Amino acid sequence: MLPQEQEQEQELCPERQNPCHDYALSRNDDMPVLLIGIDDTDSKYGMCTTYIAVLLVKTLSKYGKVALPILMRLNPTIPYKTRGNGAVALIVSTEKEKEVKELVLQTVAENAELKAEGTEPGVVFVRCHELRSYAERRLARFSAAAVRHVLSVENAEKTLAKLPAECSAFKKKGRGLIGALAATGFFFLGCCGDERLLDKTYELIAYRHEERWGTPRDIDDASVFLADRLTYPLTWDTVDQSLRRVICAPHSPCPILFGIRGDDVAAIRKAYEVIRSEPVKMAQLFVTNQGTDAHLIEAKISDVENYHSYILKGVVSRDPIVTKGGHVFFSLSDFDGTAAIDCAAYEPTKGFRSVVRKLRVGDVIAAYGSVKNYTLNLEKIEVLKLKTHVVKKNPKCDICGRTMESAGMNKGYRCVACKTYAASPMLAVERRDIDEGFYEVTPSARRHLSKPLIRFPSKIKVHPSR
């Protein structure tokens, strides 16, 4: 071992709050812990990587203790992603490493959409008990980068080479390796010292019986609205109240029946119990980075790159316009006016657009969203300071208090009843029909990673969409 590595090894990870991290390291026996990452097993025609994870949670338990599985959402702007760009990871305490690996690879091979073009499954095994803290940090950095940046298979291979780990790629390119490795790093994201990366939520996912895959889902909408009413805001994004729509069930041919997201496991379970639907084949709770804003990078407008997601502070430099199709666009500039970017609230963001339309040149805001084609696709905004516009108004009569009328062009103002006169107009601050604070898209348009305002600390002024 190099001296430098020894020194690094003695440094303790600054953040040990991640419960999975604790689980992996605070075990009181000498049982080896294996981290298993899996990604890119699905296609637009079916399957879901979480489904394979649940099959494994059940079958791996005969070889050891299996912890709560991880569902980790990665950079949502990646062009080749399937749907939500989610990878999964499992933690298994086991002495039967060989058997576990065989079972994992066999289960992935049997269930992945291997024939689909663009599906390139990857599986990674990390021997957690052999990880030194410098290796944990390396893995954590890779994992954080997979949420915020664009990585290559070579990046994954380089990181893998420095870890006590093996990988299996099922097709030549093995793009799934990126997500698989990233998901095993979820346990160590606390090392990055970034609050948004440390945050976590839960999702309880219910799966359909195989013979129903690809058919319309049979879910009683009223029971879903009831479940929401009973458990919101400890659960969220189950329904979209403004659109009167159930949003916890996908419309793809995948095995998922519905998923309940939230911060509180008891509330999630309660919501699950209330929902009436076709028979559930199996259900599994995942710990996730959904609803955490983990993908957002605080940056200057001049540093913006495509395929990244940002928090950009600036000044509105062009009033909003509405284009054909109902999309709303405005420009945001740096405070020194050297760089600008177009910001968009697209039609599916619904009521959010009416807030965005009220912005005016000079307003100071923070824009949250993903950049493609050098346009920021808004997920939320924080109105920091509204520009005050002074307008001229007819003055009020000193005697009766009524608004005076014009006495003619450049002739001042008068009150006919009291015979009073004023030479100049009254200057007044224009009333703005928008408040400071946070605003967000309607729940049905929300990205998996985007943090609902209802999750923000209560001291922050928010205007949640429901």
Contacts with Zn ion, residue ranges (CB under 5 A): 397, 399-400, 415, 417-418
- Residue closer to Zn ion, measured from CB, 239 or 397: 397
Tracing tokens 């950049």 back to the chain, one arrives at: 371
Least distance between Zn ion and beta carbon 381 (Å) = 44
Closest of 38, 293, 307 to residue 151, by C-alpha: 307
Report, in Å, the least distance between residue 452 CB and Zn ion.
Answer: 52
Strand partners, 203: 261, 286
C-beta separation of 255 from 47 below 8 A: yes
Continuous H helices in 36-185:
49-60, 97-111, 133-148, 153-161, 176-184
Nearer to Zn ion, 298 or 405 (CB): 405
Nearer to Zn ion, 402 or 461 (CB): 402
- 302 versus 403: smaller Cβ distance to Zn ion: 403
Supply the minimum distance, in Å, between the C-beta of residue 404 and Zn ion: 7
Q: How far is the CB of 391 from Zn ion (least distance, A)?
A: 22
Nearer Cβ to Zn ion (198/407): 407
In the complex, minimum distance from the CB of residue 420 to Zn ion, in angstroms, rounded to a whole number: 6
Instruction: Name the H helices within 29-86.
Output: 49-60
Peptide bond connecting 233 to the previous residue in cis, omega within 30 degrees of 0: yes
The total of other beta-carbon atoms located within 10 Å of residue 134's CB is 19
Nearer to Zn ion, 400 or 423 (CB): 400
- Return the number of the residue (393 or 461) whose C-beta is nearest Zn ion: 393
Q: Where are the alpha helices (DSSP H) in 194-253?
A: 195-198, 221-231
| Shortest reach from residue 395's CB to Zn ion, in Å | 11
Choose between 256 and 415: whose C-beta lies nearer to Zn ion.
415
Rounded to an integer, what distance in angstroms lies between the CA atom of residue 183 and that of residue 375? 29
CB contact at 8 A, 207 and 281: yes
Pick between residue 399 and residue 427 the one whose CB is nearest to Zn ion.
399
The distance of closest approach from Cβ of residue 196 to Zn ion in the complex, given in angstroms and rounded to an integer, is: 59
Distance CA 185, CA 183 (A): 5
CA distances from 437 to 376, 381, 440, 462 (A): 19, 8, 10, 5
CB of 403 to Zn ion, least distance (A): 9
Structure-derived torsion over alpha carbons of residues 93, 101, 288, 345, reported in degrees to the nearest 10: 170
Please check whether residue 18 is in contact with residue 26, taking contact to mean a CB–CB distance below 8 angstroms: no
Contact 260, 202 (CB under 8 A): no
Cβ 414 to Zn ion shortest distance, Å:
9
Burial 254-269 (b: 16+ CB within 10 A, else e): bbbbbbbbbbeeebbb
What is the spatial distance between Cα 104 and Cα 107, in angstroms, rounded to a whole number? 5
For residue 393, count other CB atoms closer than 10 A to its CB.
Answer: 13
- For residues 391 and 399, which CB has a smaller minimum distance to Zn ion in the complex? 399
Residue 428 CB, shortest distance to Zn ion, in Å, is 19
Distance CA 88, CA 295 (A): 17
